[in-house]
Structures are given as structure tokens and as C-alpha cells.
Amino acid sequence: MEDSLRIQRFEHLPSATEFASQIESRNVPAVFVGCVKGWEAVSKWNPSNGGLEYLEERVGSFMVEAMLSRTAPVFYGDLRSHERVPLPFSTFIGFCKQHRQNVDRCCSFNSNSEGHQHGESDTEQGSSLFVDAAPQQIYLAQVPIANAENEERVQLETLREDIQMPAVLEEKDLSSINLWMNNAQARSSAHYDPHHNLLCIVTGRKQVVLWPPSASPMLYPMPIYGEASNHSSVALENPDFSVHPRAQYSMEYSQKVTLDAGDALFIPEGWFHQVDSDDLTIAVNFWWRSSIMSSLTDHMDSYYLRRILGRLTDREMDQLLPKAMWRQERNIPKLQCNKAMLCEFNLIAFVPDHVGNSLGQTGQRKDLKGKEEQQSVLLNDLEPRALQNLYELVALVHDHVNASGQNQPALPTSSSALMCYATDEQDKTLTEIFHLEDDSVAKILWALEPGTFQDMFLAMANNFPRTLEALVLHLLSPVGAEVLTRKFDELDQKNTEEDRNKFYQVFYGVFDNQVAAMDAILNGKEAFARQVFFIKTFVLKVKPNGLIGGIMQSSS
């Protein structure tokens, strides 16, 4: 977990200005310890202090919408897993009272060898336990106390006077205030909210596991077009890693917080959270639109979506390359070479005629003046590491040309823009799909420092021009093209404009058709980005699920 994503704890509630500038703007959760202890609801709603009777008296038999789940104590947000049923509030309070009695009865049973109180028949006890099973499937989830978007949905407005607006929200344009109440232990499935959320515990306790939006691939969000697009499709209490293999790493990206009565948790939009509630836990949450979502206008959606997808693709490429390659140690055989060995790879024999007439004709035209003298000086000037890398690249091109001449399968080239994907590609990692560990050219280039990179390619251009031409036009894979252009960028940052121009004049001067060489490199680079984009947006199912949309229906 990155330090910038660590959840902070505050012993004192900040001002509205401090919250907006220092906490909300970071889009990272924060815990405010005891910040709502002063609410009247904390004392009046407490079941240990007659809170159930108080709530029943205030609300009575007013009809509320309850969540009924046959998978209790786990409540999933998918409508296929639960249904919304009308229920008199007083009936639910009766369930809570019954559950408390059963808990007390169970405690009494544990201390009484007779198993049940005197005067209670076995039939009555069995009936009691059966009655208790159904209420455990009932959860008052997201029952509106206030709703700015739909006042007709408000069901518990009478409880509004028992809660006070937290100071951090005084300047917010709230979307809704909701009640969450369970009579028995309950767990909500992992989901994110499309609004900022302040979850306040009135009585009981909740444990919340949170994941940043960047962990979406590990949680397999449901399809964006579904009615529960903001929910994970993984049953985290009993995951099937054969179906969701990346879920086995999900907890590495998570953080857990425990909230007691009086505590509050800020959950930014887009953060996945799974909530475990103790028996008879009551909470109130506040939802409001973030400044980012509030400022979005419809005609800008396509632009922002393109920018976001571009950022995701760039970030994935940045993360992908270092995972597959490393600067110091490479799994490439270290060949002891010297100048004499390099000279044995005479270019006339290096590229057979059957590879293509254009290469042979180019080789005849590349008879550089004073070649032997340049070769002797440049190779002697190379540092051992540059000499080693040059030999490895020359050997790779030589092997590739020989393989092509024998009609053996060749390595991926920039002309084959997209690779073939297996049917189970959604379970593969990017590294597996790209086979980066097998791309020796990309590995060699990735490990080079700018100075070594420059010296090696100048030596190749002057001494092995046809080898360089074959490398770029016939051996450079999409990931190789990406690495090559990144090395160009590193070199450009260190060189003066004059030195940059000299280097590229020598490098591209090797090619009979410089435009074709540039196209080969750019086509390969774009093919790599296209493959990463395809995998990032479809295979890893990050789509816009973790970025936009979602429904307000959730299970906090």
C-alpha cells in the first residue's frame, strides 16, 4: 500500500475548510474518533438504555423499505441476491427485541446445564429459534432520513432532530442522509459509492475493509451496464480463485478500520469497502457529490474519458516494463567477447540474400569510407559493457536471420501489431501475454544507461549498418519499440540539441528509407500501447467501472 493512500486518524474533528483542503481533496479515507459522541441519537438510540423503545415510539408502525437477503448474514448489492420489502418499522424493532432476548437466553443456557429456563417447553424454544432465523435476513439498509434528490423517498424524517450536521459538512450540498440498522451480525458485499460518504456510528460497532479504486482489477467489478455496477463480483468470504484468480491478492491492497459508537469514517467516492456490523448496530451516513463530479458537464464526458483511459494505459505501461525487466541483473547468458569476435560477424555473411533484396542492395551501398579504420577506433573505445551489449544484439540479429532463412518461426516484429490471445486471456497477466521475459532485445535495451546506449548504437551504425537495419525493420517487437523510444527520450534529456541531431543523423542515416524506419518504430510503439489498452480496459475489466457511473444502491 502506497504511503499516500494510508488512512489517517484524527482525534479532533477539523473545520469545514481544513477538511475540504487537506482531507477531501486527497480522496483518501479518514477516521474521526468520537466526533459524533455529542449527538442525542448516541444516547437515545442505544438499546442498552431503552433505545429500541424510544425508536419505536418515535417512528411507530410507519412503513419502511427493508432489505431481505437469503444469503444472510452476507448482504449482496446485486438485486438477484436480495429483494426490497415493505415492513412496519415497529415490526423490525420487534425483531431486534427478539434477537436480544435470544442472545440473553443463549448466554443463560451456557451457564445453565438444563439448557433452558424453567417453564419453557421444547416446542416453545424451537419455535423461538425458528422465528429468530427469519429476522436475521432483514436489514434496514439506506433508509432515507433526508433526500435532496427525491423528497418522496424520505421515510424517517422524524429522526432528523436527533442527529446534528457534522462541522466538516456544513458547507456541503448533501444528497441524502440515511439510516443503517441491523438486528444481527451482518456483512455487506464489497462495493464503492458514486458519492463521498461520511459513515457515523450511533451504537454498536463496524469493521470496514477498504480498497483504493486502483485495486479494481483485484475485485472484479460487475459490468458497467449492470444494475449493480458498483459492486464486486467476488464473494470475498468464500472466493473461487479459479474464477477470480486476481482476488487472491486483493487483501494486499486493503486496509481495515474499526469504528465504535461516536466514530465517523470518510469514504471517498470510488473506494471499495466491505462492512461487518456487530449485533444491533445503528449508523447514519451522509452522501454528497464530489467537486469533481459536480463540475462535470455532459459535453465534456467523452474528452475526460479519453484522458482517463490514456492515463490508465500510460500507468500500466510504466508499471509493466519494470516488472518484466531489471537494470542490473538480466537472465541473458553473459558471453565473453572481444573486438576480434565481433569482427568475425562480417556483415556480408550476416544477412543472407534470401532475407530480401532490399537488405542486400542496402548493404552494397553502405560501404563506408575508411570502414576498417572507423571500426578499429570505435570498437576499441567502447566500454566492456557496451561491447558486451553490442555483441548480444549482433548475435540476436544473426540468429534471427538464420532462423528466417531456414523457415523457422521468427520473433514478433513491429509489423505484427497485435499478438494472438488465448481464450482464457482474462486470467493471464500482462507479463504472460507479452512474454517480456523472452524479449531479449527489449531486455538488453532496458538495462542500458543513456551514455552506453548512445555509444553502442553509434558503433553499430558505423560498423554494422545492415545489422541495425535488420534489427529495427525485422526484429523489433512492440515492447522493444516502446523501450527503444523511452531510451531515446532519456538520451534527449541528457544531450544538447546539437548532440541530439548528430546522433539521429548517424542512426537514421543507416536506412535507405528513413521514413520506413521511423514508421517501423512508431508502429511498434503504438502496437504496444494498443495491446496494453486492450488488456487494461477489457481483460482486467477496469473499463469505466471504477471511474464513473454506479448506482446509489449499496450496503453500508
What is the pLDDT, as a whole number, of residue 78?
Answer: 74
Of 178, 210, 205, 211, whose CA–CA distance to 286 is shortest?
178
Are 283 and 303 in a shared domain? Answer: no
Residue 498 within any structural domain of the chain: yes
Are 222 and 311 in a shared domain? Answer: no
Cell numbers found for residue 412: 514478433
Are 190 and 306 in a shared domain? Answer: no
Residue 413 within any structural domain of the chain: no
Q: Are strands 30-32 and 8-10 parallel, antiparallel or unpaired?
A: parallel
Please say whether the beta carbons of 39 and 15 come within 8 A: no
**Domain hosting residue 439, numbered range:** 296-323+379-398+434-542
Q: Please state the domain count of the chain.
A: 2
Residue 329 within any structural domain of the chain: no
Are 311 and 214 in a shared domain? Answer: no
Question: How much is the pTM?
Answer: 0.67
Are 89 and 210 in a shared domain? Answer: yes
Separation of first and last alpha carbons in the chain: 23
What is the pLDDT, as a whole number, of residue 323?
Answer: 53
295, 314, 344 - which closes a domain: 295
Are 81 and 192 in a shared domain? Answer: yes
Are 257 and 311 in a shared domain? Answer: no
Q: Is the peptide bond prior to 221 cis by the omega test (within 30 degrees of 0)?
A: no
In a 13 Å sphere around the CA of 325, the CA atoms on its Cβ side amount to 24
Strand partners, 201: 283
Are 387 and 247 in a shared domain? Answer: no
> What is the rounded distance in angstroms from the CA atom of residue 19 to the CA atom of residue 36?
16
- What is the residue-level pLDDT of the chain in tens, covering all 556 positions? 788 999 999 998 899 999 999 999 999 999 999 999 999 999 999 999 999 999 999 999 999 999 888 877 888 877 777 788 899 999 999 999 988 888 766 655 454 544 434 333 333 333 333 334 467 788 999 999 999 888 888 899 999 999 999 999 988 999 999 999 999 899 999 999 999 999 999 999 999 999 999 999 899 998 887 778 899 999 877 889 999 999 999 999 999 999 999 999 999 999 999 999 999 999 999 999 998 888 888 888 888 888 888 888 888 788 777 654 443 344 444 444 444 444 444 433 333 333 333 333 344 334 444 444 443 336 777 888 888 889 999 999 988 887 766 544 333 333 333 333 333 333 344 444 455 557 889 989 988 999 999 999 999 998 899 999 999 999 999 999 999 999 999 999 999 999 999 999 999 999 999 999 999 999 999 988 888 887 666 544 433 333 333 323 344 4
Q: What is the per-residue burial (b if ≥16 Cβ within 10 Å, else e) of 454-491?
A: bbbbbbbbbbbbbbbbbbbbbbbbbbbbbbbebbbeeb
Strand partners, 283: 180, 201
Are 301 and 172 in a shared domain? Answer: no
> What is the rounded distance in angstroms from the CA atom of residue 332 to the CA atom of residue 212?
37
Domain with residue 246: its CATH number is: 2.60.120.10
